[in-house]
Amino acid sequence: MELKARIRRWRYVYGWRWRYWWLDTPHGHAARMLLLVLGFLGSIAEIVVVVVKAMRAPSLEHPQQALNWFIAIVFGIGVAYLWDLTKGKPTKDTENNQGPTTDDGQSVSHHFGTVWVDDSFLLAWKVVGRSPVKSKGGKK
């Protein structure tokens, strides 16, 4: 077997094995939680370092530090404002809708070939947008 093919096969096989371990095993769940905790602790440590540096008296030799802090705060407020503008807002139509009910114990019918099915039922339901599709129409 050629070296490139072996590497490709190795990446494929072990990629799926890693995915299975990461998403479907208890050890993978523990590893995800460990990374979450370590990231949280790292974030807290970084915040503490920034606060300690900010609490130190600014030296007269570096007056640019105060301006840098001001720029960082304005940038943070701007990013928060843009995020608020771009996040999705729920519409009144989707807030009060009740989904259809289903009968417990009903199973999906299996039909083989082309047949006409009279006993249709609802397997899943999802609220979708209610705005009409707009098109330009035909040629003028």
Higher pLDDT, 10 or 119: 10
Q: Could you tell me the residue range of the domain that residue 13 belongs to?
A: 3-79
The answer to whether 73 and 103 have CB atoms below 8 angstroms apart is no
Scored b (16 or more CB within 10 A) or e, 79-113 reads eeeeeeeeeeeeeeeeeeeeeeeeeeeeeeeeeee
Count up the domains in the chain and report the number. Answer: 1
- Identify whether 133 is part of a domain: no
Q: Give the count of beta carbons closer than 10 Å to the beta carbon of residue 123.
A: 8
The percent of residues in the chain predicted with pLDDT above 70, rounded, is 61
The confidence score (pLDDT) of residue 49 equals 85
What is the distance in angstroms between the CA of the first residue and the CA of the last residue of the chain? 62
- Identify whether 48 is part of a domain: yes
Of 103, 97, 94, nearest to 121 by C-alpha is 103
Higher pLDDT, 136 or 52: 52
Most confident of 56-65, 78-87, 125-134: 78-87
- Identify whether 97 is part of a domain: no
Q: Taking 80 as the threshold, does the pLDDT of residue 68 lie above it?
A: no
The Cα 81–Cα 98 span in angstroms is: 33
- Identify whether 95 is part of a domain: no
- Identify whether 118 is part of a domain: no
- Identify whether 23 is part of a domain: yes
The confidence score (pLDDT) of residue 62 equals 67
Token reading at 102: 């289903």
The confidence score (pLDDT) of residue 41 equals 93
- Identify whether 86 is part of a domain: no
This prediction's pTM:
0.39
pLDDT tens for 3-30 read 988 888 999 999 999 999 988 899 999 9
- Identify whether 67 is part of a domain: yes
pLDDT tens for 100-109 read 666 666 676 6
- State CA 59 to chain mean position distance: 43
